[in-house]
Copies of this chain bind each other. A is one copy, B any other.
Amino acid sequence: MARDLIDLLWRDHPDAPPSGSRGPKARVTTTSAVDSAVALADTDGIESVTIRRLATELGISAMALYTHVGSRDDLLVLMVDRVHSRQERPPFVSPSWQERIRQVAHAELEHYEAHWWLLDVDDQRTALGPGTIAKYDYELHAFDGTPVSDVDRDAALTFVADFVRGAARARRPDPHAADMAETWTRWNDRLAHYLGDTHPLAQRVGGAAGEAMNAAYSPEHAWEFGLQRVLDGLEPLVATSVGRAPETGVRPTEE
């Protein structure tokens, strides 16, 4: 039986419970299994990460995997922590906090682009892993030298991370794009008919956004737009020493 998830996450730590020395030596380790799973997800998406397929890839039986990972849900957490630990963390050199946040955001976007399946994993337990914690620590340092309180520093980083996640979601290539090409234009025609002249604002704005979307510079534009909004939003927080949110600013009993 596999060890607890927490111990598997920290399996490289000296104090982590070792994989017993009694039986035959394992043909596969947790690390190699996780790496294999990551490779699988990188190329074929998260839905291709099945116990049976991964086991076949590793040359062992399906059930033998459970010696090393516990469950599929655990495996996904281990995968996330693995790629987080692999992510590069070059030191922050720019004296401008805006530039440092840009750096964090840009690296995060590239991280998603290298591992789109990160968008498919939503498990709070990833926060327990050494890779995720190291990443968190690193990114918090981007706010060094700014007069932001601890609580706000966490909230600000979450704010940036959520923005990037949204941007990544929008940029993610659709795997069905090829098959849909023909159907899409046909559906668009039918949609135009159904819409008629209703929702003029949505049609105008959506049309403009859609055209811009097809333009070459567009994803860059959308990214730059959002990132600028993020930086402008953080500006007053970093500029003035807020400390904590004004008590009076919180509305009392709504919801």
A1-57 contacts to B (CB < 8 Å): 4-7, 10, 13, 15-16
Selecting from A58-66, A74-82, A83-91, A134-142, the interface stretch reads: A134-142
Copies in the complex: 2
Taking residues whose C-beta sits less than 8 angstroms from the other chain, chain A's interface range is 35 or more
Whether B136 and A222, one on each chain, are in contact in the complex, defined by CB atoms closer than 8 angstroms, is: no
Determine whether A206 belongs to the interface, using a CB cutoff of 8 Å to chain B.
yes
Determine whether A158 belongs to the interface, using a CB cutoff of 8 Å to chain B.
yes
Chain B residues near A121 (CB-CB < 8 A): none
Residue of B124, B141, B150 near A208 (CB, 8 A) is B150
CB A205 to nearest CB in B, in angstroms, measures 5
Whether A6 and B190, one on each chain, are in contact in the complex, defined by CB atoms closer than 8 angstroms, is: yes
Could you list 29 A-B pairs, sorted by A, with CB under 8 Å?
A: A6-B191, A106-B255, A110-B255, A128-B191, A130-B194, A133-B206, A134-B199, A136-B202, A137-B201, A150-B208, A150-B209, A151-B208, A151-B209, A152-B225, A153-B205, A154-B205, A154-B206, A154-B208, A154-B209, A155-B209, A155-B221, A158-B170, A162-B162, A162-B165, A220-B251, A221-B250, A224-B251, A232-B234, A233-B234
